[in-house]
Amino acid sequence: MHAANAQAFWIQAPGHGEVRQHALPNRQAHELLVRTRYSAVSRGTESLVFQGKIPESEYTRMRAPFQEGDFPGPVKYGYANVGVVEEGPDAWCGREVFCLYPHQTRYVIPVEAVVPLPEDLPAARAVLAANMETAVNALWDAGPRVGDRISIVGAGVVGSLVAWLCQQTAGARVQLLDIDAGKAELAAALGLPFRHPHDAEGEQDIVINASGNPHGLRSALALAGYEAEVIELSWFGRDEVTLPLGEAFHSRRLTLRASQVGGVSPARRARRSHAQRLQLALTLLRDARLDALIDGESDFLDLPTTLARLSDADRPALCHRIRYS
């Protein structure tokens, strides 16, 4: 069956985006035609893509599942799309689904590439699914235990979600840290203790850096207790990072480890697929308090100027939601 044309957002060159007409292919029997209701802008990776800061060595590894074009551009990039199935097998028609698809008004996709939303999860909140999936993977990597002292550096979307999940560990003492005192309101909305890194409790069992800033990673190392683990969730693109790996790093026998959502954590890889991890992320989004992580919304057709503004903002945004007519 032939589907109507669509519109898609492309990064034409670093710092410049445009909305293009997009001809959709004929839908096959095993495929769905999805009309997008919302998508979301990742303030971390997507900003680096928009600014052309993806290292050439990472061009292949950093491809999104349904990316078109190549870095640095022209490229169609994105991975947080919530829509409704307009055409497909009867069991799917009318269902709301999440897909790791770029910003596009309609798209044709294999059935196995989408995950249906839980009935009690609003589509407007489901745009956080990719961020929650990253947070789930981080917890699988970090492996928090009963009674652990845990610090999360960086009260952005992913950092806040990680802290929110960690606090559900029995007996855990969790602190969410950020240099922006304004993030205290967000922490309060999520029921999380908030501190400036300079005022944070030290000797932590696990410290997770989600700040996107080398200073945040340095703070994480300083907060770690003897033989503790520091988990690095930030990705710095082409920027080099200098760390104090002298001082007490060796005498404290610290472990610094990366966590990246592209691969399921080794702690669960043998028993969990990417699809199962995403399904779990969607079920964990049913708490209405998580709406506090969405701090802006704009129209799809405004995306070229919206992404330019978000990428240049002095104060990093939380999740910015894109609405479609």
**130-184 pLDDT, tens per residue?**
999 999 999 999 999 999 999 999 999 999 999 999 999 999 999 999 999 999 9
CA angle 25, 11, 68 (to 5 degrees): 35
What is the average pLDDT value for the chain, to the nearest integer? 94
pLDDT digits (tens, 9 = 90+) for 29-87: 999 999 999 999 977 788 889 999 999 999 998 899 999 999 999 999 999 999 999 99
Indicate whether 313 pLDDT > 80: no
In total, the chain counts a number of residues equal to 325
In angstroms, rounded to a whole number, what is the distance separating the alpha carbons of residues 39 and 51?
20
Measure CA of the first residue to CA of the last residue in the chain; give whole Å: 23
For tokens 């009309």, the residue is 35
pTM for the full model?
Answer: 0.93
* Cβ atoms of residues 217 and 243 within 8 Å: yes
Confidence class for position 315, pLDDT limits 50, 70, 90: low
304 Rama class: left (phi>0) / alpha (psi -120 to 50) / beta:
alpha
Neighbours of 305 (CB within 10 A): 11
Cα-based distances in Å from 34 to 1, 29, 80, 108, 146 = 13, 14, 14, 6, 43
For strands 68-69 and 75-76, give the pairing.
Answer: antiparallel
Give the 3-state secondary structure of residue 147: coil
| Better pLDDT: 92 or 313 | 92
Cα-based distances in Å from 228 to 127, 178, 199, 223, 274 = 33, 21, 19, 9, 28
